[in-house]
A and B are shown apart, each in its own frame.
Chain A
């Protein structure tokens, strides 16, 4: 038997994006404030405060070393944050997805529309952050202009599987597990604050699994004008593959949830 859905229709995808942006219009002030303030405070406390006790890492001062990592992790955290409770809520409490499923909007449009929204949100935050770090003098190469692209890729690679997870669970308590076993460990051990080489050899592959690590290395290579540990194509291919698998999983999870 054929399925109820087919690939995306640009018109429907944009309609889903439009709803998300209409909702965001009511909230943007508070979130714009915090998305500007958080990275600034972070750089001041860790970059300058702790950095004052650290000589250089990979030949640059600590602040410059963590900036590209914190930049990508901003996108990473936003992708997870915006794809957990909001997506779960749109199935469970708001029932926006069941409402959409009664219209010509298809499952792939729901996934694509929300991903576009997250992408816009993450890129806005990343651009603000990039401006601030430029003022801090932490960007050392014109390649830094490519970091938003890296962040976009990490955002998609992270957001898609998170959406699938949110569509698959029936109790929001499971998010605590996602935060504690994925979000926080990734943020802390994927090369944002200290080189992954320092991890015990057995733990390193775990860091390689995280899309965050690949993004951090690409971004650091860009802002410092150095080569990343793996070939650029390998990091990029990993992120693209992660995104593709995540999107497929999300579409499947959405379809399953809506057929219940």
Chain B
């Protein structure tokens, strides 16, 4: 769906891959100018790992096993795929909300970029591409750790990788769309709270089936729940037709988010 959307624009000559690449390249350049950028970059990977050790292993020792679909899973096995999905989400969101907003509002990066032949939709794609590159490095490392800990098998880890990319795409587009709506830094508090709520209540730490009925229905409509279910299904080696539904949800979110962000950018920047 996204591919067709992009393909349609490509064929109409509206998007030049080179120009999207230029937007990505600017980000790499900007990153390199920071302090020991690779240290910062690498340390990003430790974050989900620490969560896995603390919650999965530490709290897991208190929990023992979690019943899921008739299986009794060690708690770390249950939590790890959710951590993976969360890491894909927060990686994409931090790039497309905080950083994106800063560039849009303060650094005037986009205004400078849009004074060149680069178009708003290409900016959106470039920013998303950048978020994906960064995010997928983390995801890949995390999957390796999961394999190392015996929390998934190499084959299923390979299957989960594209799923995490889709999660990143979906939240990246959503984040960009939201960024164009933010009025100022004060709105970030709200956004962070919402993000934290998703993190806590998406079947991340305990199965959604145990939630009160009302909460369950709400949770099932939110994107992180869909992401966790998709990634967990694959990482646990328990594929089902339901996973296709989750994937479709995330693909639709990606398309809608991108379109919306591009429209808003055009309105905000090309007045």
Residue positions of A touching B, CB distance < 8 A: 26-27, 30-31, 33-34, 37-38, 41-42, 44-46, 49-50, 52-54, 57, 62, 169, 171, 173-174, 176-177, 180-181, 184-185, 188-189, 193-194, 198-199
Contact = CB atoms under 8 A, between A and B. Distances in A.
29 contacts: A30-B187, A30-B189, A31-B189, A33-B189, A37-B193, A38-B196, A41-B197, A44-B201, A45-B201, A45-B204, A45-B206, A49-B211, A54-B62, A54-B63, A171-B34, A174-B35, A176-B43, A177-B39, A180-B43, A184-B50, A188-B53, A189-B50, A189-B54, A193-B58, A193-B59, A194-B54, A194-B58, A194-B59, A199-B58
Nearest to B192: A34
A46 B200 contact: yes
Contacts of A199: 58
A171 to B, nearest CB: 5
Interface in B30-80: 34-35, 37, 39-40, 43-44, 46-47, 50-51, 53-55, 58-59, 61-64, 66, 75
A129 to B, nearest CB: 15
Interface size class of chain B, counting residues whose CB lies under 8 Å from the partner chain: 35 or more
A199 B204 CA distance: 23
A53 B60 CA distance: 10
Interface string B174-210: 0000000000001101101100110011001110001
Nearest to A169: B35
A177 B54 contact: no
A41 B201 contact: yes
Contacts of A171: 34-35
A52 B44 CA distance: 31
B65 to A, nearest CB: 8
A45 B200 contact: yes
Contacts, number: 99
Given A37-B193, A194-B62, A49 B54 contact: no
A30 B34 contact: no
Interface string B212-237: 00000000000000000000000000
Nearest to A55: B62
Given A33-B193, A34-B193, A50 B186 contact: no
A57 B62 contact: yes
Contacts of A50: 59, 63, 205-206
Given A57-B62, A173-B34, A188-B51, A49 B210 contact: yes
Q: Is the interface of A mostly helix, strand, loop or mixed?
A: helix
B97 to A, nearest CB: 15
Highest count of chain A CB atoms <10 Å: which of B59, B200, B211 = B59
Nearest to B54: A188
Given A34-B193, A53-B75, A193-B54, 10 more contacts: A27-B186, A30-B186, A44-B201, A49-B210, A53-B66, A171-B35, A176-B40, A188-B58, A189-B53, A194-B54
Contact of A181 (B43, B51, B53): B43
A171 B58 CA distance: 35
B106 to A, nearest CB: 10
Contact of B190 (A34, A185, A194): A34
A42 B40 CA distance: 28
A186 B187 CA distance: 28
A194 B186 contact: no
A49 to B, nearest CB: 4
Contacts of B197: 37, 41
Contacts of B51: 184, 188
A198 B60 CA distance: 11
Given A30-B186, A176-B40, A53 B54 contact: no
